Amino acid sequence: MQEDTRQKHVRAICKNARQKNYQVMIFNVFQQLDNMNSFSQGEARIFDMVPMDKLSVLIIFAESLLNMKIVNSLVKKAQRRKLPVICIDRRMENCYNVLFAYEESFDKLVRHIVEYHGCKRINFMAGMENNEFSDARIHIYQKVLQENGISFEEDRLAYGQFWEAPARECCEKWVAMWQDGRQQMPEAIICANDIMALTVDDVLKSHGIHVPDDILLTGFDGLGLEKYCSPRLTTACDDIDLIGAEIFRIIDGYFANKEEEPYDIRIPFRTKFSESCGCKKVHICNQNEQIMFWYNRSAEMRTHFADIFMMMTALTDGYSAVDMAELLEVYQDMIAADWMMVFMNQAFYKETDLPADDYEWGAMMLLSKIWNGMYSVPLQRIPKSKEYYVLEELLNEVNQIIVLPLHWQEEVYGFMAVAYQDADKDLAAFYEFVLAFEQVLGTIRKQSQLHRMYETDLLTQLYNRSGFYGCVRKRIKELSGREKVLFLASIDMDGLKFINDTYGHAEGDYAIKGVAHCIRESVKRHMGICARFGGDEYIVVIVTEKEEADISFYQNYETHLQNILEQFRKDGRRPYYIGISIGSAYDQLNDMTDIDRLMKEADDMMYEQKAEHHQSRLSMEN
């Protein structure tokens, strides 16, 4: 949609949708998908989210995607739902096809040069080789020449790739041929699009060749920049208003008679014979106004890029996704959206500090939100079945929303939905923000993974010693200024060496992970902090406000944990016994020294119990 012509088409559709009380969801990618790479694979995943069962009609800009596998997949999904499909700029079977009458309009332009102006020597600047649009225009050029008795000369055909740099190179080669006598200078140059025509005009001027006095020149496709050029360009353009009206005529017709067979319509291009071919003089728009517009736009974008860099630097200064989301509010002006919702999936939140341990499979997290200009960080669970209804809530506020993928190369992290009060808002700066934000998400995820490796025991996924103390300090800081109670349990596995020596280290690892799982489950409801300090040593801490302290739970913790472990043993049915020794203590918490004091107290109790267990095993063996 960020391409100028497609943006105009989409806006025409949205304008008609508003008039007829339709809501529009725009699923957008940042690049054409003809040459798939890691980035475009991530982009394309946004189309998996299209809610076919909720739509009234699906409109596909097939020629913008340039990937028929994706287009065919979307069409098939829609048709399985009996959903009408309107395909823009490419013919698809069993679809309503909105096609553009390029050939008829281009034929008029070529005949205008050949038959009206009487030119015999005509050069042609085509697009890309083996491109159907370029080849069709070459064919028309050759056909009109032949019908008028003019021979086609191979060296008068060049491929400007539909773009400025290659067109400039081709035109310079032509000029060199004219200067050294290898080719007679043409009377006219026909270009397959406007940007190549404007480039040709620029090259000719640099060599003292004037349009239309020395050479006639035509373009094609109605580029907006043409209005500010001198001479004004002879060209052809599509009828934007007609496109929107015709699409909704199709939609209205379908709902009036759902049994009708899909059909094709052709949108005519309007030819504009102007100054570059020597025809009527046309008023030139205020060039100074346009120069100032682009000067100011350039200055704004330079500032925007600097702001983007500063934003990326600030948001990636750490590993916390929560902190990043909260800091994003500082850059709300850069987002410049009236409504925005950022949804993260499991690939992101499971690897960061986002609070999503209890999320079911497929659930999304609403990370950031702008609602009517107000920013917030909801951290809200969105079940997979509720995704559309959250978007529908946004659609009820505005007529149209844009849905964009959020990914790091092919790895998808979620999506973003945005909407604006101004339906015609220029989105160029916003797209730059989204691309930068994706880099931020990828960096935060990587840094979060590294931080987790630094503070987490890889075997059990409990905290290691460093992570444990960091988490305890953070919890104490959260309760700063309030009376606190600390519960601490020291836990040690019994008989780990016997399991390793007798059954192997794989079984020893199973037992270590099993005990860790039981410990984590035992304090899950009490926000317990669990750590593995060594081979078979574990520690549990609960820090809470004094009035919320669950003294009964603390006093009965050993029994509670042993019951969970007993169930684990029954479920696992291992040929060896997995046992633990426990010592625990609780007291008012004033500072970090209380942790060391309670840890020693709990350790002493645990070692005393461990000695009893060891003696008991020896007695049984004897």
What CATH code is carried by the domain that includes residue 364?
A: 3.30.450
DSSP 345-390: -HHHHTTSS-S-TTPPTT-EEEEEEEETTEEE---EEE-GGGHHHH
Q: Which among 402, 465, 411 is positioned nearest to 434, based on CA atoms?
A: 402
Instruction: State pLDDT tens for residues 98-145.
Output: 999 999 999 999 999 999 999 999 999 999 999 989 999 999 999 999
Q: What is the CATH number of the domain that holds 260?
A: 3.40.50.2300
Could you tell me if residue 284 is inside a domain?
Answer: no
Q: Tell me whether residue 403 is in a domain.
A: no
* 164 domain-assigned: yes
Q: Is the pLDDT of residue 620 over 70?
A: no
Q: For position 412, what pLDDT does the model report?
A: 96
Give the C-alpha separation, 622 to 620, whole Å.
Answer: 5
Whether residue 226 is contained in a domain is answered as: yes
Q: What pLDDT does 617 receive?
A: 65
CA dihedral angle for residue 607, residue 613, residue 619, residue 621, rounded to 10 degrees: -110
Residue 23 has pLDDT above 90, yes or no: yes
Could you give the C-alpha distances from 293 to 70, 289, 432, in angstroms and in order? 38, 6, 20
Task: Say which residue, 565 or 305, is predicted with more confidence.
Answer: 565
Confidence of residue 285 (pLDDT cuts 50, 70, 90): low
Average pLDDT over residues 420-426: 74
Residues 480 and 615 in one domain: yes
Q: Find the mean pLDDT for residues 425-454.
A: 90
CATH of the domain at 571: 3.30.70.270
Q: Give the pLDDT band of residue 302 (cuts 50, 70, 90).
A: confident
489 and 613 co-located in one domain: yes
- Provide the token pair at 250: 């199709």
Longest dimension (CA), the chain: 116
| pLDDT: which is higher, 24 or 228 | 24
Q: What is the mean pLDDT of residues 289-303?
A: 77
pLDDT band for position 483 (cuts 50, 70, 90): very high
Tell me the mean pLDDT in the region 361-386: 94
Report how far residue 480's alpha carbon sits from residue 591's, in angstroms, rounded to the nearest whole number.
11
State how far the Cα of 114 lies from the Cα of 147, in Å rounded to an integer.
10
In this structure, are 243 and 155 located in the same domain? no
Question: What CA–CA distance (Å, rounded) separates 455 from 449?
Answer: 10
Is 275 contained in some domain? Answer: no
SS3 at position 215: coil
What SS3 class is residue 414? Answer: strand
Contact 508, 514 (CB under 8 A): no
The predicted structure's pLDDT at residue 542: 97
Q: Are residues 133 and 175 in the same domain?
A: yes
In the chain, DSSP finds a helix count (H) and a strand count (E) of 21, 20
68 in a domain, yes or no?
yes
The pLDDT, as a whole number, for residue 1 is: 57
Count of other CB atoms within 10 angstroms of residue 512: 23
The answer to whether the bond into 355 is cis (omega within 30° of 0) is no
C-alpha span between 50 and 403 (Å, rounded) = 9
Mark whether 157 and 244 lie in a shared domain. Answer: no
Domain C-terminal end among 192, 219, 237: 237
- As a whole-number percent, the residues of the chain with pLDDT over 90 amount to 78
pLDDT of residue 423 exceeding 60: yes
Lowest mean pLDDT among 335-339, 342-346, 443-447: 335-339
Q: What pLDDT is attached to residue 289?
A: 75
Do 116 and 176 belong to one domain?
A: yes
Instruction: Look over the chain and give the mean of its residue pLDDT values, rounded to a whole number.
Output: 92
Strand order in the sheet with 579-589: 529-532, 537-545, 484-494, 579-589
Q: Note whether 41 and 107 are same-domain residues.
A: no
Per-residue confidence (pLDDT) for residue 6, from 0 to 100 = 84
Residues 96 and 243 reside in one and the same domain: yes
Q: What is the pLDDT of residue 593?
A: 86
d(CA 43, CA 33): 9
**pLDDT, tens digit (0-9, with 9 covering 90-100), for 50-95:** 999 999 999 999 988 889 999 999 999 999 999 999 999 999 999 9
What backbone torsions phi and psi does residue 580 show, to the nearest 5 degrees? -140, 155
Residue 335, pLDDT score: 85
Burial class (CB in 10 A: 0-12, 13-18, 19+), 277: buried
Instruction: Give yes or no: residues 93 and 115 share one domain.
Output: no
The answer on 581 and 507 residing in a single domain is yes
Q: 269 - beta bridge partners?
A: 238
Query: Residue 176's pLDDT is what?
Result: 98
Nearest to 578 by CA among 513, 488, 489, 487: 513
Report the distance separating Cα 57 and Cα 17, nearest Å.
12
The Cα 434–Cα 4 span in angstroms is: 18
The secondary structure of residue 456, as a DSSP letter, is B
CA dist 30 to 1, 72, 278, 333, 404, Å? 8, 20, 40, 22, 9
232 lies in a domain?
yes
Would you tell me how many other CB atoms lie within 10 Å of the CB of residue 114? Answer: 21
Q: What is the pLDDT of residues 163-187, one digit of tens each?
A: 999 999 999 999 999 999 999 999 9
CA 436 to chain centroid, in Å, comes to 11
**Confidence check: pLDDT of 459 > 90:** yes
What angle separates helix 428-455 from helix 465-478, to the nearest 10 degrees? 120
Q: Which 8-state DSSP code applies to residue 233?
A: P
Measure the CA–CA gap between 99 and 76, rounded to whole angstroms.
20
Determine the pLDDT at residue 426.
72
pLDDT at res. 192: 97
Whether 48 has a pLDDT exceeding 80, the answer reads yes
- Residue 180 structural domain: 102-237
Q: How many CB atoms lie within 10 A of CB 464?
A: 19
Q: What is the pTM of this model?
A: 0.80
500 and 615 both lie in a single domain: yes
Q: Mark whether 32 and 107 lie in a shared domain.
A: no
Residue 453 has pLDDT above 80, yes or no: yes
Distance separating alpha carbons of residues 386 and 276, to the nearest angstrom? 57
Residue 460 lies in a domain: no
pLDDT of 284 reads 64
Total domains in the chain come to: 4
Task: Kindly state the average pLDDT of the residues 234-255.
Answer: 93
